[in-house]
């Protein structure tokens, strides 16, 4: 690998309002190389990809393609340079055929009429390259995820891609499909195609990567050959410290059962039974799509309850009444902050008080000083970084937005049970530790906390008890001492 | 966090950044041009006339502003005006009571508003489609029940409602002023107002936070219906008759004025102040052009141009704001010592 790298990045910075997403990143990629990017969520991997592929424009830094300054201002420029990205959510039109997707926007035509035969012949050529043996006329919606992925790769090849970026390509594949994907990747390498491979699955990375670059908090920790390190060392590079350090000591002081759920069933979850005690942090673990978020929707009455009962502090919560659930003392911090959490047109203050306005209302109007007082207290208590309480919430960093959403519920005087779905998604490590210690304090003050999380270390580090879900059902229950990554995964998969 | 410390400078910068400033300047410029081209423009009588004209748009538009802030739309306000005229004049002719006539129209407004709200909230249908439907239905009802012939009010007193004065100020303008203050207060200082902005800004998040989203939507549609019918009664009173074609195309005038006033069609952004200035701008334009003897066809063209121009200038303003944010980022870079 002495020749010129196909991609060279040096001192790359990317700055969004309130977030310094990339801080002087350097990275290179050679022809025929599989270069893996690893790092926690929010470490900067996807930002880098988006710069490489022209979705974002870098704030500053060097970007060379084949030794020449890259002129990429638009995703189309990147495609012209031979860079194509296969995103986790595939980018295909499901109502069109595989062939039409491969040549999307470039259908071979003569005098305005599509030459179907040529289209199918050409498509078949590229489909063979990726080992796809279906008819090019098949509509994409009838293909499996693995086949759809291969259609995407065929599309990249037909575009003359020299660099293919794969974002979590195996997250929805069976082990057998993963194996055949790796075979294709090996063939692509032989043809001189370079691959940037992003994955959380470390065993895969050790299997196929030629080099590994580790990201943390928007910077590169290091680039290593897989022979140089083992899985444990890689994790330590990613996390930057021993995992134990970011979790507070849990000294749970458990009280009586505050929330008792029996046989809860909706269209998406079946026979969910669990309980949470005062002062307890209970985790819900499981793979993507296991029905954990759907469980929270069922609990809070957002999805139609078909069967089962929810008893909060001795009081039965009637079905399908989200308003009563909230009024009785349940709160929810959602998984997708932007979609279901923040009110983007409103200030930090208004976002915080929206569910407890009745506590600061005098007569018919909101008391300005009363509202500002409680908000000021919360900002101090949770150490929320914002210039003023009137700042619009989208201008805050992810961690601070999350704190505002926590504060929204903490303000409610009768809050008894707080459901937090993915408490630290898209939050940097420093803010994570703060959120953990806050959750610990809240439990100490007698709140019952339900924590849904995909991150096993977080579940193991925080929870007094863990339920594991799979296909909309609870498949296991562990207390703190019994829980281990292996045990939780076992129940999540089988 | 230093909200108590309001220096003159911060007040100024607040005004400078506010969305309304641009509109106020546009309104003033427009008024200056009109007063230069027509001597009558600034006379008390003309101003009162103009405001009375604006009050018809405003009384309906205040309610519609709330609907739009909520992230919905109501295209049926024009047809509702015809229904308002019918309800009030028919009731008046039957009972001889102006109060009952007004009440009948307002009750009808609550009814049609509730129907719109119910279909949107509980039927989970797109409000553009729903109100496009009800718009057509109410216009049809007005035509069918009257055979497309207007009904004269049998009691001439009815006319004073829309044409009368309190001192020098027309009744309609008084009603408009009271409603403006009330709705401004509601939007600014009450839980109800906060909820409107929250739902308009992110309906999904509002639902997940447990706000009474459906109830709010139905209530706001009812308010809009009542206010629209009130404007419809004022119109019928001025014409001393119920016209089945009253308010034809009115919805577009009102929506245009509200958007001109900086209220986002996506909901959650804008306010009653901006919307009112938008209505004033269109009102001044119409009044001024009429004084200049410009035909109503040309007025339509002028109004269209002003709306597009205003929205364009607003985009320019937003782009400049975005540039400012980028500059702030660069300054931030510099501060961290990594500038190019």
Task: Kindly report, residue by residue over B110-129, the tens digit of the pLDDT.
Answer: 999 999 999 999 999 999 99
For an interface test with A, the pick among B188, B195, B209, B340 (most A C-beta atoms closer than 10 Å) comes out as B209
Are B130 and B62 in the same domain?
yes
Are B118 and B196 in the same domain?
yes
| CATH superfamily of this structure's domain A7-240 | P-loop containing nucleotide triphosphate hydrolases (3.40.50.300)
Residue with tokens 């929206």: A354
CB contact under 8 A, B194 and A388: no
Per-residue pLDDT averaged across A271-287, rounded?
91
Q: Nearest-CA residue of chain B relative to A62?
A: B340
Q: Residue A361: its chain B contacts at CB < 8 A?
A: 190-191
Task: Give A325→chain B minimum CA distance, Å.
Answer: 8
Task: Kindly state whether residue B3 falls inside one of the protein's structural domains.
Answer: no
Task: Kindly state whether residue B157 falls inside one of the protein's structural domains.
Answer: yes
Q: Residue B210: its chain A contacts at CB < 8 A?
A: 300, 322-323, 325-327, 355
CATH at B246: 1.10.3470
Per-residue pLDDT averaged across B195-210, rounded?
94
Q: What is the ipTM of this complex?
A: 0.85
Task: Kindly state whether residue B13 falls inside one of the protein's structural domains.
Answer: no
Q: How far is Cα A261 from Cα A270, in angstroms, rounded to an integer? A: 12
Are B251 and B305 in the same domain?
no
Residues 6 or more apart whose CB falls under 8 angstroms from that of A38 comprise A45, A198, A199, A200, A202, A205, A212, A213, A214, A215, A234, A238
Domain boundaries, chain A: 7-240, 245-493
Tens digit of each residue's pLDDT (9 = 90 or more) over B219-244: 999 999 999 999 999 999 999 999 99
- pLDDT class of A247 with cuts at 50, 70, 90: confident
Per-residue pLDDT averaged across A92-107, rounded?
91
Q: Residue A302: its chain B contacts at CB < 8 A?
A: 207-208
Task: Give B211→chain A minimum CA distance, Å.
Answer: 7
Q: How far is Cα A447 from Cα A73, in angstroms, rounded to an integer? A: 50
Q: Tell me the residues of B at the A interface, defined by beta carbons under 8 Å apart.
A: 1-3, 185, 189-191, 194-195, 197-198, 200-202, 204-212, 268-269, 325, 328-330, 332-333, 336, 338-340
Q: What domain range includes position B257?
A: 19-294
CATH 3.40.50.300 is held by the domain A245-493: yes
Tens digit of each residue's pLDDT (9 = 90 or more) over A369-392: 999 999 999 999 888 888 889 888
pLDDT of residue B17: 53
For residue B79, pLDDT over 90 is answered with: yes
For an interface test with A, the pick among B208, B214, B265 (most A C-beta atoms closer than 10 Å) comes out as B208
pLDDT of residue B4: 42
Are B328 and B213 in the same domain?
no
- Out of A59, A60, A346, the one facing B201 most closely (by C-beta) is A346
CB contact under 8 A, A327 and B211: no
Strand partners, A272: A264
- Out of B190, B205, B333, the one facing A15 most closely (by C-beta) is B333
CB contact under 8 A, B194 and A20: no
- Out of A16, A24, A354, the one facing B209 most closely (by C-beta) is A354
Q: Residue B336: its chain A contacts at CB < 8 A?
A: 20
pLDDT of residue B1: 39
Task: Kindly state whether residue B60 falls inside one of the protein's structural domains.
Answer: yes
For residue B3, pLDDT over 50 is answered with: no
> What integer best gives the mean pLDDT of chain A?
88
Task: Kindly state whether residue B2 falls inside one of the protein's structural domains.
Answer: no
For residue A296, pLDDT over 50 is answered with: yes
CB contact under 8 A, A15 and B209: no
Q: What is the pTM of this model?
A: 0.78
Q: How far is Cα B214 from Cα B200, in angstroms, rounded to an integer? A: 12
Tens digit of each residue's pLDDT (9 = 90 or more) over B228-287: 999 999 999 999 999 999 988 899 889 989 988 888 888 898 899 999 999 999 999 999
Are B186 and B307 in the same domain?
no
Task: Kindly state whether residue B57 falls inside one of the protein's structural domains.
Answer: yes
Task: Give A459→chain B minimum CA distance, Å.
Answer: 24
Task: Kindly state whether residue B6 falls inside one of the protein's structural domains.
Answer: no
For residue B13, pLDDT over 60 is answered with: no
Are B326 and B225 in the same domain?
no
Same fold? A7-240, A245-493 = yes
For residue B334, pLDDT over 60 is answered with: yes
Tens digit of each residue's pLDDT (9 = 90 or more) over B142-167: 999 999 899 999 898 899 988 889 98
Are B300 and B169 in the same domain?
no
Are B111 and B241 in the same domain?
yes
Are B190 and B146 in the same domain?
yes
Q: What share of chain B is helix, strand, coil (3-state, %, to 5)?
A: 75, 0, 20
Structure tokens at B311: 């929205």
Count of the separate structural domains present in chain B:
2
CB contact under 8 A, B201 and A24: no
CB contact under 8 A, B3 and A390: yes
Angle at A30 between CA A29 and CA A36, to 5 degrees: 45
Tens digit of each residue's pLDDT (9 = 90 or more) over A39-65: 876 678 888 999 999 988 888 889 999
For residue A167, pLDDT over 80 is answered with: yes
Whether A146 has its CB under 8 Å from any CB of chain B: the answer is no
For residue A200, pLDDT over 80 is answered with: no
Task: Give A344→chain B minimum CA distance, Å.
Answer: 6
Q: How far is Cα B134 from Cα A213, in angstroms, rounded to an integer? A: 60
Q: Nearest-CA residue of chain A relative to B327?
A: A17
CB contact under 8 A, B268 and A15: no
Phi-psi region of B307 (alpha: psi -120 to 50; beta: other; left: phi over 0): alpha
Instruction: Give all strands (DSSP E) within B93-199, no chain letters.
Output: 151-152, 165-166, 169-170
Q: Nearest-CA residue of chain A relative to B322?
A: A17
Tens digit of each residue's pLDDT (9 = 90 or more) over B15-74: 555 667 878 888 999 899 999 988 888 898 999 999 999 999 999 999 999 999 999 999
Outline where A246-313 has alpha helix (H).
Answer: 292-299
Task: Give B66→chain A minimum CA distance, Å.
Answer: 15
Are B34 and B177 in the same domain?
yes
pLDDT of residue A454: 82
Are B83 and B107 in the same domain?
yes
Are B255 and B330 in the same domain?
no
Q: How far is Cα A263 from Cα A99, in angstroms, rounded to an integer? A: 47
Task: Kindly state whether residue B208 falls inside one of the protein's structural domains.
Answer: yes
């Amino acid at each position: 690998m002495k020749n010129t790298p196909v991609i060279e990045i040096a001192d790359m910075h990317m700055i969004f309002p309130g977030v310094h997403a990339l801080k002087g990143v350097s990275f290179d990629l050679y022809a025929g190389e599989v270069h893996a990017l690893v790092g926690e969520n929010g470490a900067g991997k996807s930002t880098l990809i988006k710069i490489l592929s022209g979705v974002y424009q870098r704030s500053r830094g060097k970007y060379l393609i084949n030794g020449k300054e890259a002129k990429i201002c638009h995703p189309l420029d990147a495609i012209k340079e031979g860079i194509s990205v296969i995103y986790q959510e595939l980018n295909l039109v499901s109502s069109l055929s595989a062939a039409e997707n491969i040549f999307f926007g470039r259908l071979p035509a003569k005098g305005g009429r599509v030459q179907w035969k040529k289209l199918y012949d050409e498509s078949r050529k590229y489909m063979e390259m990726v080992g796809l043996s279906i008819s090019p006329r098949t509509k994409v919606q009838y293909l499996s995820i693995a086949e759809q992925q291969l259609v995407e790769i065929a599309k990249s090849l037909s575009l003359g891609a020299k660099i293919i970026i794969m974002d979590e390509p195996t997250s929805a594949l069976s082990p057998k499909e993963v194996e055949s994907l790796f075979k294709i990747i090996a063939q692509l390498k032989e043809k001189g195609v370079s691959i940037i491979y992003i994955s959380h699955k470390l065993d895969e990375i050790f299997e196929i990567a030629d080099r590994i670059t580790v990201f943390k908090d928007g910077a590169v920790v290091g680039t290593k050959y897989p022979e140089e390190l083992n899985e444990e060392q890689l994790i330590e590079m990613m996390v930057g410290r021993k995992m134990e350090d970011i979790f507070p000591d849990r000294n749970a002081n458990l009280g009586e059962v505050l929330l008792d759920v029996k046989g809860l069933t909706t269209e998406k979850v079946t026979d969910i039974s669990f309980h949470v005690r005062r002062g307890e942090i209970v985790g819900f673990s499981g793979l993507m799509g296991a029905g954990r978020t759907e469980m929270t929707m069922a609990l809070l009455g957002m999805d139609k309850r078909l069967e089962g009962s929810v008893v909060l502090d001795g009081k039965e919560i009637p079905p399908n009444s989200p308003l009563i659930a909230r009024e009785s003392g349940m709160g929810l911090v959602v998984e997708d902050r932007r979609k279901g959490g923040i009110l983007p047109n409103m200030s930090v203050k208004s976002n915080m008080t929206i569910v407890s306005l009745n506590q600061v209302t005098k007569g018919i109007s909101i008391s300005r000083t009363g509202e500002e007082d409680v908000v000021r207290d919360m900002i101090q208590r949770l150490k929320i970084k914002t210039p003023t309480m009137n700042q619009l919430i989208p201008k805050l960093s992810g961690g601070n937005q999350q704190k505002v959403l926590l504060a929204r519920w903490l303000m409610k005087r009768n809050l008894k049970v707080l459901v937090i779905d993915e408490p630290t998604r898209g939050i940097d490590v420093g803010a994570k530790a703060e959120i953990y210690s806050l959750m610990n304090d809240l439990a100490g003050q007698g709140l019952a906390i339900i924590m849904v999380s995909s991150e096993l270390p977080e579940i193991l580090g925080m929870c007094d008890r863990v339920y594991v879900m799979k296909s909309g059902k609870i498949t296991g229950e562990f207390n703190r001492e019994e829980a281990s990554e292996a045990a939780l995964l076992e129940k999540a998969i089988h | 966090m230093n909200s108590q410390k309001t220096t003159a400078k911060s007040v100024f910068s607040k005004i400078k950044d506010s969305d309304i400033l641009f509109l106020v300047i546009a309104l003033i410029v427009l008024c200056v041009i009109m007063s230069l081209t027509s001597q009558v423009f600034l006379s008390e009588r003309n101003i009162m006339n103009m405001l009375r004209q604006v009050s018809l748009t405003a009384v309906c538009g205040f309610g519609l502003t709330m609907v739009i802030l909520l992230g919905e739309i109501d295209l049926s306000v024009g047809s509702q005006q015809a229904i308002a005229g019918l309800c009030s004049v028919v009731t008046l002719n039957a009972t001889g009571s102006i109060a009952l006539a007004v009440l009948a129209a307002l009750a009808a407004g609550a009814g049609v508003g509730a129907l719109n709200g119910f279909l949107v909230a509980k039927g989970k249908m797109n409000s553009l489609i729903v109100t496009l439907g009800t718009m057509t239905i109410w216009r049809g009802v007005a035509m069918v029940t009257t055979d497309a012939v207007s009904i004269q009010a049998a009691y001439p007193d009815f006319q004073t409602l829309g044409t009368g004065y309190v001192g020098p100020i027309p009744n309609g303008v008084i009603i408009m002023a009271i409603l403006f203050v009330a709705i401004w207060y509601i939007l600014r200082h009450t839980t109800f107002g906060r909820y409107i902005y929250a739902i308009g800004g992110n309906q999904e998040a509002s639902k997940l936070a447990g706000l009474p989203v459906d109830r709010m939507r139905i209530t706001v549609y009812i308010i809009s219906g009542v206010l629209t019918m009130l404007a419809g009664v004022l119109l019928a009173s001025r014409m001393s008759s119920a016209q089945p074609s009253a308010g034809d195309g009115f919805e577009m005038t009102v929506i245009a004025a509200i958007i001109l006033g900086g209220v986002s069609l996506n909901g959650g952004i804008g306010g009653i102040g901006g919307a009112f200035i938008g209505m004033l701008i269109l009102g001044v334009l119409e009044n001024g052009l009429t004084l200049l003897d410009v035909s109503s066809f040309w007025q339509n063209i002028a109004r269209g141009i002003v709306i597009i121009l205003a929205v364009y200038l607003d985009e320019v303003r937003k782009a400049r704001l975005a540039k400012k944010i980028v500059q702030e980022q660069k300054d931030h870079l510099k501060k961290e010592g990594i500038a190019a």
